[in-house]
Structures are given as structure tokens and as C-alpha cells.
């Protein structure tokens, strides 16, 4: 149900052993990797639940009811597309088809993300065409737009260290403007965990 002119879209993976945090699982085991992913989901939920925007959780495989994402706060959908770029593009298309004027997407891999950072991202639109939250590994933890631009989702090597670089080139090619947020760490490996100070022990 649309209540605001801004929407936050949260991409999550269904928490299935062996399907989440696979790089962590290689060194820590599937059980520990799954436990860390549950912590990440919990952090993302607590960070976003009070924000005064509409919120949609996009699940990787199927919608789960009765989980930590309360249906009174979050709408729920399934991601659509054969790769991450297509899935994000389809989410943005959906948001703008519903009449939202600002749309932001985040993942569920970042212990450092805060409500303040997300509010800053929304404040950066529409005076900028894009808002981006860069990660230390060359990707991004947040992407926001006030108008749909398909080019930023095409011809990317997702999960590589070139994603942010290639995305910024795309933006410059369309003479777009962008605001960069604070650089944060996505949790993919044990080294990433060590780099994050506020992880629950």
C-alpha cells in the first residue's frame, strides 16, 4: 500500500544453509555463515523499520510470512530476473510504475549501514540523478534514483571489484549527476568480519 512518495527496497536472500554467504561458509562452515546472515538480516530490519518511507522486501526465492519482516511495516515481493542487474532493474521499474518519486535499493550484507545514511541518501534525490553507497570491495551497498535509468544495470560483472567503477562510467556517459555516500564494508569473507567493529560476537 503506497503511503509515501519514497520507497526503500531491500534485497534479501532466503536464509537457506548453503545458499547464503557462500564465501564465508567455505572457511567457517554453512551453519556459522547462516547464523551471521541471520544477524545481518536482523540488523537491516532494525535499521530500516522506523524510516518514514514505504518499504518492500524482495526475497531471492519466495516470500516468507511470519518472519522478522512484519507485514504491517514491509510489503513483500520476489526478485525477478536472471542476474542481479535484471533483478534490481525490475525492482526499480516496479517502484516507478507505482508512482514513487524516489527509489532506493539496499542489500542485507552490511553491518555498518545506519538510518542516518539511508536518510542522507533520500535527501540526495532528486537534486542528483543517483545516490550511491560504495563498498570497500569495489561494489555498492546502496543505489538510489529519482528516474529509471536502465544502463546502470547492463554489462556488469556482478560481485566483481569493477561494479562501482563501471556504474560511474555509465552515469557519466548519460551526463548524470551522483552523490557518493560513506564507504562501508559488505560482509562476504572472514576478513570483512574482522573489519567490522560492531558485529555481535
**Each residue of 170-201: pLDDT tens digit?**
999 999 999 999 999 999 888 888 877 554 44
Q: Each residue of 90-101: pLDDT tens digit?
A: 999 999 999 999
Buried-state track 40-56, b at ≥16 Cβ within 10 A, e below 16: bbebbbebbeebebbbb
Element holding 106 (H helix, E strand): strand 102-106
Q: CA 158, CA 179: separation in Å to the nearest integer?
A: 21
Q: Which of 68-72, 141-145, 193-197 has the lowest mean pLDDT?
A: 193-197
Is there a domain that residue 114 lies in? yes
DSSP state, residue 19: T
Q: Which of the pair, 28 or 72, is modelled with greater confidence?
A: 72
Highest mean pLDDT among 16-25, 118-127, 186-195: 118-127
Give a yes or no: residue 122 inside a domain.
yes
- How far apart CA 168 and CA 13 sit, in angstroms, is 26
Cβ 159 vs Cβ 139: under 8 Å? yes
In a domain, 1, yes or no: no
CATH number of the domain that residue 56 is part of: 3.90.550.10
Domain for residue 201, yes or no? no
Residue numbers of the domain that contains 191: 6-195
Q: Residue 76 domain-assigned?
A: yes
- Nearest-CA neighbor of 150 among 80, 108, 91? 91
The pLDDT of residue 195 is 76
Number of domains in the chain: 1
6: cell is 519514497
Residue 176 inside a domain? The answer is yes
Residue 130 belongs to a domain: yes
| Position 149 in a domain | yes
Amino acid at each position: 500500500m503506497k503511503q509515501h512518495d519514497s520507497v526503500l527496497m531491500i534485497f534479501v536472500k532466503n536464509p537457506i544453509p548453503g545458499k547464503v554467504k557462500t564465501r564465508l561458509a567455505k572457511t567457517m562452515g554453512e551453519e556459522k555463515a547462516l547464523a551471521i546472515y541471520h544477524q545481518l538480516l536482523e540488523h537491516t530490519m532494525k535499521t530500516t523499520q522506523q524510516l518514514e518511507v514505504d518499504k518492500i522486501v524482495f526475497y531471492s526465492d519466495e516470500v516468507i510470512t511470519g518472519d522478522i519482516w512484519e507485514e504491517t511495516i514491509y510489503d513483500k515481493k520476489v526478485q525477478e530476473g536472471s542476474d542481479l542487474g535484471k533483478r534490481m532493474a525490475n525492482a526499480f521499474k516496479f517502484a516507478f510504475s507505482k508512482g514513487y518519486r524516489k527509489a532506493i535499493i539496499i542489500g542485507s550484507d552490511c553491518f555498518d549501514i545506519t538510518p542516518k545514511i539511508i536518510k542522507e541518501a533520500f535527501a540526495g534525490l532528486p537534486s542528483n540523478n543517483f545516490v550511491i553507497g560504495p563498498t570497500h570491495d569495489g561494489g555498492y551497498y546502496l543505489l538510489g534514483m529519482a528516474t529509471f535509468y536502465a544502463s546502470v544495470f547492463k554489462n556488469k560483472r556482478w560481485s566483481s571489484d569493477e561494479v562501482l567503477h563501471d556504474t560511474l562510467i555509465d552515469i557519466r556517459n548519460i551526463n548524470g549527476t551522483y552523490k557518493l555516500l560513506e564507504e562501508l564494508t559488505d560482509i562476504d569473507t572472514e576478513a570483512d568480519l574482522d573489519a567490522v567493529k560492531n558485529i555481535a560476537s
